[in-house]
Structure 1
Amino acid sequence: MRKIIVIGSMSIDLVVSSSKRPEKGETILGDNFFTTPGGKGANQAVAAARLGEQVYLVGRIGDDDFGKEIYENLKDNNVLVDGVEPVTQMPSGTAHITIADQDNSIIVVPSANNEVTIEYVKKHLEQLDSGDIVLLQQEIPSETVAFAIEYCDRNGMISILNPAPYREVSNQVIESATYITPNETESNAMFKGNMEDALQAYPKKLIVTMGDKGAIYHDGNRKVTVDGYKREVKDTTGAGDTFNGAFAVGLQKEYDIEKAIAFANLAASHSVTGMGAQGGMPTLLDLEGEWHV
């Protein structure tokens, strides 16, 4: 079976929920506060590990209490942690999340995630086989992301770039990636608002996610919409990460692109029913009755 290797960030999420977001200079009372493991890399690895097999994470944590919590949570979720090592010169990453109006806003402080260097990643990529799946996001250095995408292209591996949080991506990276999975906002930033043209220019590569409306891609002949699912929303944090982790698992199961997207849409819809980035991420058992292989 193909291995899934997630290269990306790990953090502790500090989450506050309230009835509204404060205006500039305003202090308001919140409804709830909790901390939970997160980071886009860790989230996507956990999402994939709950649904698939042989899921590895490559990244860095601080040599601190947050780092120990992150590491233990990965092991508890059956993520293989051979590629997770602590650094001593900086703390673990954190994300500061505000939940209000059934949506979230986030400030990410990368810290140890900035130590996911080309040299660090290269030694792990060299252990992979042709056909293995590499999943990346953009909470680690941009040069590392570009190196990994281009390495996969040269060596016959499948790469998935989730360009979140958005920053400019070179044409070389876009051409080299097997799949690119922005949401609508990220797609508009990446392609200057020309999403329709971009879908046609990158058939079976560009997949634009649209929340509970599903996702769209171009199959080479026409634009295809893969329907989403509506759920009672508790917290949207981690829905995109669940989509990407599940999409990688769909490819691991050798689904075609449309079926892999449908599987990812279903998993992402479950994720919004729990609190925290990882709280609602489903297992295969959770999808029973709604998904038939």
Structure 2
Amino acid sequence: MSAPAAPAVITGTSRGQSVRRARRVRESIVGWSFAGPSTLLVLGFAIIPMGWALRLSFTDSDLVTGGQDVGLDNYRALAQDPLFWEAIRNTLTLMAIYIPVSLVSALLVAQLLNKPIRGIGVYRACFLAPFIASKAAVGLVMAYVFDKDFGVLNGLITSAGLPAQGFLDDPSQAIYVIAAVFVWTQLGFNVVIYLAALQEIPKEVMEAASLDGAGPVTTFRRIVVPSVRSVTLFLGVWGLIDTLQFFDLILTTTKGGPVNSTITIVYYVWQLAFDFFTAGYGAAVAYTLFAGTIAVIGLVLLLGGRKGLLR
């Protein structure tokens, strides 16, 4: 009687394995039915174009013809390209202004908006609106506001008896005006993230600080700022990426001028590909930017991890 029992055990085990295998197949089909379209979009609009651009960077293609292989000549030419270095300087200037100003101002605004006052939702929406608005539309409006001859701002300045300013037409002012507009458009995003972080600070901690006699400045410096350091690192990295990819406001306002004073890396890539028809060289600039971005972000995250900012 013991001999016939073995096949029954084997059969039951095999049937269980078949059921589990069929369940995994069904789950995979369901999962890929949801993830498949997004995967195809990422593959079609990101991975494949990245590979094609990498191949393009080793040619002298003009986007019309395939071009000839030039090896590393495009990358070697970067060292002797004054416009490339001008674009790097302008991008770094924009970054040096945007990141600290946007982080500090966003944290201060978020602290003010983290109050149970009447109509607080309206105030929060006012700060978020510029971020939601189309950057192209914002650029067109700002080009009018800062116009040297007919701009609204210069009208207010001259009506106060002060001399008109060049703003976007002045090489010494244009990059700072662009930076100010950039901060204004992105401030709402930083405020929302900081606001969410501030609401995670336990109320008991704030109440204890108040009972201990800590004033608003001391509470902000000793409790609020340390509590949001990981969020600050995140927003700093996000701002770094945004600055390195800065393009739309330049296109709709200054177009890199005056005298290349506002040309940025991404705008220079666009010029190389679609104005100068040197797509191969433009792809080399783009991949140099990509490598530099990865290196800088990796360094920031490494330093942040060592200082405990990622916890």
After TM superposition, is the score higher than 0.5?
A: no
- Per the normalisation by structure 2, the TM-score is 0.24
Query: Which structure has the highest helix share of the two?
Result: 2
Q: Which has the larger radius of gyration?
A: 2
Query: Which structure has the highest strand share of the two?
Result: 1
- Per the normalisation by structure 1, the TM-score is 0.25
Relative contact order, CA 8 A, sep 6+: which one is greater? 2
